[in-house]
Amino acid sequence: MTSTRWLKTALGASALALTTWAHAGAPMVKTSAPGYYRMMLGDFEITALSDGTVDLPVDKLLTNTQPGKVTTALNQSFLKAPLETSVNAYLINTGDKLVLVDTGAAGLFGPTLGKLVGNLKAAGYQPEQVDAVVITHMHPDHVGGLVTGDQRAFPNATVHADQYDADHWLSQSSMDKAPADAKGFFQGAMAALKPYQAAGQFKPFKGNTDIVPGIKALASPGHTPGHSTYVVESKGQKLVLWGDLMHVAAVQFANPAVTIAFDTDSKAAAAQRQKAYADAAKNGYWVAASHLSFPGIGHLRRDGKGYRFVPANYSVLR
């Protein structure tokens, strides 16, 4: 055999071996990349953090509508109930302060959540670096991540939340009056805030309040008695973190009047949502919400009688 023929034969055998190896079976990994997304807002760095997703029977939870209408709206977005729903939080680095908006659920909402701290670390930060935690409201999927066991997950942070929410969710008498299926919400909030209260690191505020330079709480009661949104501004750019002003994009952007069973006051919640949508569409600033598909950041446009959410274009900071 000539050297040329030998080389061709050898290369062919090697290629066959590689092809055979490449087609061998391999176990499915079934995990995604770490759940964080980063953008700049003026001089501020915004990092969206995923706590995971949870399946919600939104066809049964949404109110001021009918299940059939919910199903139709979901189908139009190639979705179905139960809806895999994101739970998002947002980390803001102002250059002087590191502020976390909401903390996810930890173990209070099932095994598919509780990923926030791991994703915060993957994003390049440590829980000990967080200076302030600001809470939109005290439902379990927003405060559960404040603690690891019975210890503070963010040991150097001061926790801020509206006084009306504190007065409601941290009240033993309010819990005693609540229906049996709602008592867990109170218990979760009490357990999450207790170590911060004991350490003197819980500072409730009343209404519209400046938290740190560039971050302001804006009262938006309805979903809970003290639900707050947070306005973040730097160098003329603005982001409003809506918390739970809305839950199901496929339904509530087209019809903001649709409410959810978790609302303490559904009429007030709907009014706050209408107000927030109109202002965001008119003024064109960034918005983000806890239960929009991760990272949950984008803009709003008017679309007939409703609105259309325009997600942020994927970008790599450079």
Taking the domains of the chain in order of start, what are their residue ranges? 38-311
Least confident of 18-22, 156-160, 208-212, 239-243: 18-22
Which pLDDT score is estimated for 295? 97
In this structure, what token pair is assigned to residue 40? 């700049």
Q: Say how far apart CA 191 and CA 315 lie, in whole Å.
A: 38
**Mean pLDDT rounded to a whole number for the chain:** 93
Which of 3.30.70.580, 3.30.565.10, 3.60.15.10, 3.90.1300.10 would CATH assign to domain 38-311? 3.60.15.10
Contact 80, 248 (CB under 8 A): no
Model confidence at 240, in pLDDT bands (50, 70, 90)?
very high
Q: What are the CA-CA distances from residue 174 to residues 21, 117, 160, 166, 182 (Å)?
A: 64, 31, 21, 11, 11
Its pTM stands at 0.91
Q: Would you say 222 and 105 are in contact if contact means Cβ atoms under 8 Å apart? A: no
Residue pair 270/277 in contact (Cβ under 8 Å)? The answer is no
Cα–Cα–Cα angle for 92, 134, 264, nearest 5°? 130
On whether the CB atoms of residues 289 and 296 are closer than 8 A, the answer is yes
CB 146 within 8 A of CB 154: yes
Residue 317 — very low, low, confident or very high, per pLDDT cuts 50/70/90? confident
pLDDT at 34 over 90: no
Percent of the chain with pLDDT over 90: 87
